[in-house]
Amino acid sequence: MKPGRQRLDKWLWFARFARTRSLAARLVADGYVRVNGKRAEAAATAVGLGDVVTVAAAHATVIARVRDLGERRGPAPEAQALYEVVDDATG
């Protein structure tokens, strides 16, 4: 992976959009994730700073801008620092 980029499944897991990395990969494979408006085709899709990631989970649809790339799956405040919510369409 190029410097300044990270695998989408890894970033989703670090940012706590999925409980496990396997579930993050499944979200991508099942078509519930978009990067910059385009459906992500693979869990290995690279994301970088400034990219907009849309996650359409069962409980909510969240549009978030990548602010940082994680190095580990840490506590919630650390995970929330990885992104900025652009739009949160719950319900």
| Three-class DSSP category at 79 | helix
Domain boundaries in the chain?
5-90
Residue that the structure tokens 């900025």 belong to: 84
**Spatial separation of the C-alpha atoms in residues 31 and 80, rounded to whole Å:** 23
Whether the Cβ atoms of residue 84 and residue 29 lie closer than 8 Å to each other: no
Report the predicted TM-score, pTM, of the whole model to 2 decimal places.
0.90
User: What CATH number labels 5-90?
Assistant: 3.10.290.10
The tens place of each residue's pLDDT in the chain, 91 residues long, gives: 678 899 999 999 999 999 999 999 999 999 999 999 999 999 999 999 999 999 998 788 999 999 999 999 999 999 999 999 997 555 4
**Spatial separation of the C-alpha atoms in residues 25 and 19, rounded to whole Å:** 11
Whether the Cβ atoms of residue 64 and residue 79 lie closer than 8 Å to each other: no
